[in-house]
Amino acid sequence: MPRHRTVLASLSLGYVVVLTAALISWFLLPRNDEPQLPGCYWVRLWGMSIKCIEFIGHDLVEHILNMPRAMVELPTMGAIVLFTASRNALDGLLLLGWGALYWAPIAFLAWRVIAGRKSPANHGVTSAI
């Protein structure tokens, strides 16, 4: 098996682990519409989203914690913009493209699992990754 596929599979698996941790953290974060202490909170901002403030790396943590929401919203909003009577179809395509990038590691892992089970080179040995 080529080394780049193994590296991609490891990175994709790490992505899924981070995404799962972000989903679990949704149930652990407090709700606060006006956060003032350092930390991460649920806030009402374009629906419900997570806002992190006043600690090192808060922007990165906020992005990671909001990834599951973006995975649903970007393709949905892209399809709405693209297929409605909008004059700006490029925005819809961009949203769909960003949504596809969020889903790409999961699609790659699914492809690896399916291709690994169908491959005659495995000689009856199946592997998830």
Instruction: Provide DSSP, 4-40.
Output: HHHHHHHHHHHHHHHHHHHHHHHTTSPB-SS--SSEE
CA distance 73 to 93: 14
pLDDT in tens, 63-122: 999 898 889 989 998 888 888 866 778 888 898 999 999 999 999 998 888 887 776 555
Mean pLDDT of 30-54: 79
Dig out the tokens for 86 from the structure: 């909008």
Task: Determine the Cα–Cα distance for residues 65 and 27; give it in Å rounded to an integer.
Answer: 11
Interatomic CA distance for residues 19 and 36, integer angstroms: 26
Distance CA 53, CA 28 (A): 17
